Amino acid sequence: MSSTPLLRCERLVVGYGGRPVLPPVDLEIRPGEFWVVVGRNGSGKTTWFRTLLGLLSPVSGQVAWPQGRRPIAYVPQRSAFDELYPVPVREVVAMGAERGWSFLSPGGGRGDRVRQALTEVGAWELRDRNFRALSEGQKQRVLLARMLCSQAGIALLDEPTAAMDAVAEEEAMAMLDGLRRAHNLALVVVSHHLQVAFRHADRILFLDPEVGVEVGTVAEIQQSEAWRARYQDRHAGVLP
């Protein structure tokens, strides 16, 4: 895979109010790659995501888009959605298609995209349910459909399988893998479940405020100093 990167982090330092939470990150994400981001609670995974999304400015360094700025899809950690809104599933999925000021033009003609996306994730029968009344696992499926509906080239998913049982998680990761292949989508997934994550990932970003940042394949990460310092030596029992 040596195509032009979709997104490049150049000495990117993320943090809040000028205070870094992580050392600088250098990496390139290419179409169709499956990235998994690992790191302990509070290590900066969500902060890094929010910076890539432009919701937070970098402390230093930059996020570059070598192919031009492309639509990005975001599946936030847990439900970041306002539960007061009685929005049906099909409208949540259709939101994926909005861009800029598109909400001022009639939204008709999106029905096909919505149906296709919901069908692809196996959630078509949920279409008229209220989003807020779904189980966490069902919500995640709907959000995957919204991601497909957005026709983004890259998708960031913050712990999409956190609410799932082991079987559902494996199914969800396999589904993500399938969607990635079908749409040549670059996926960046935060996961705390190393076994499942490592089975599907081709690239790992390992974040740790103390021992550092590592980027590489599963094998490379497992050989890295930082990884060994964090897991092999101190917490060998939790490793896959």
Ligand X SMILES: Nc1ncnc2c1ncn2[C@@H]1O[C@H](COP(=O)(O)OP(=O)(O)OP(=O)(O)O)[C@@H](O)[C@H]1O
Scanning residues 57 to 76, which ones bind another protein (CB under 8 A)? Answer: 71-74, 76
Which one of 5, 9, 13, 46 is in contact with ligand X (CB under 6 A)? 46
Nearer to another protein, 84 or 167 (CB): 84
DSSP 8-state secondary structure symbol assigned to residue 104: G
3-class SS at 160? coil
Tokens of 42: 């509070």
Strands (E), the chain: 7-13, 15-16, 19-20, 25-29, 34-38, 60-64, 72-75, 154-158, 186-190, 203-208, 212-216
Which one of 45, 110, 141, 183 is in contact with ligand X (CB under 6 A)? 45
User: Which of the choices ligand X, another protein, Mg ion, none does residue 66 contact, using the CB cut-off of 5 to 8 A by kind?
Assistant: none
Burial of 77 (0-12, 13-18, 19+ CB in 10 A): middle
Nearer to Mg ion, 80 or 104 (CB): 80
Which one of 150, 161, 222, 224 is in contact with another protein (CB under 8 A)? 150
Nearer to Mg ion, 46 or 224 (CB): 46
Which one of 2, 41, 102, 105 is in contact with ligand X (CB under 6 A)? 41
Choices 5-13, 36-44, 164-172, 217-225; region in contact with ligand X by CB under 6 A: 36-44
User: Which of the choices Mg ion, ligand X, another protein, none does residue 87 contact, using the CB cut-off of 5 to 8 A by kind?
Assistant: another protein
Which one of 36, 47, 73, 126 is in contact with ligand X (CB under 6 A)? 47
User: Which of the choices ligand X, another protein, Mg ion, none does residue 44 contact, using the CB cut-off of 5 to 8 A by kind?
Assistant: ligand X
Go through 130-157 and write b for each residue having 16 or more CB atoms within 10 A of its CB, e for each that does not.
Answer: ebeebeebbbbbbbbbbbbbbbbbbbbb
**Minimum distance of ligand X from residue 98's CB (angstroms):** 26
Residue 46 interacts with Mg ion (CB under 5 A): yes or no: yes
Scanning residues 85 to 104, which ones bind another protein (CB under 8 A)? Answer: 85-88, 91, 95-96, 98-101, 103-104
**Minimum distance of Mg ion from residue 78's CB (angstroms):** 9
Q: Return d(Cα 160, Cα 102) in angstroms, integer.
A: 27
Is residue 24 within 8 A of residue 13, CB to CB? The reply is yes
Q: Return d(Cα 204, Cα 186) in angstroms, integer.
A: 13
Residue 21 interacts with ligand X (CB under 6 A): yes or no: yes
- Label the pairing between strands 212-216 and 203-208: antiparallel
Radius of gyration of the chain (CA): 18
Nearer to another protein, 71 or 240 (CB): 71
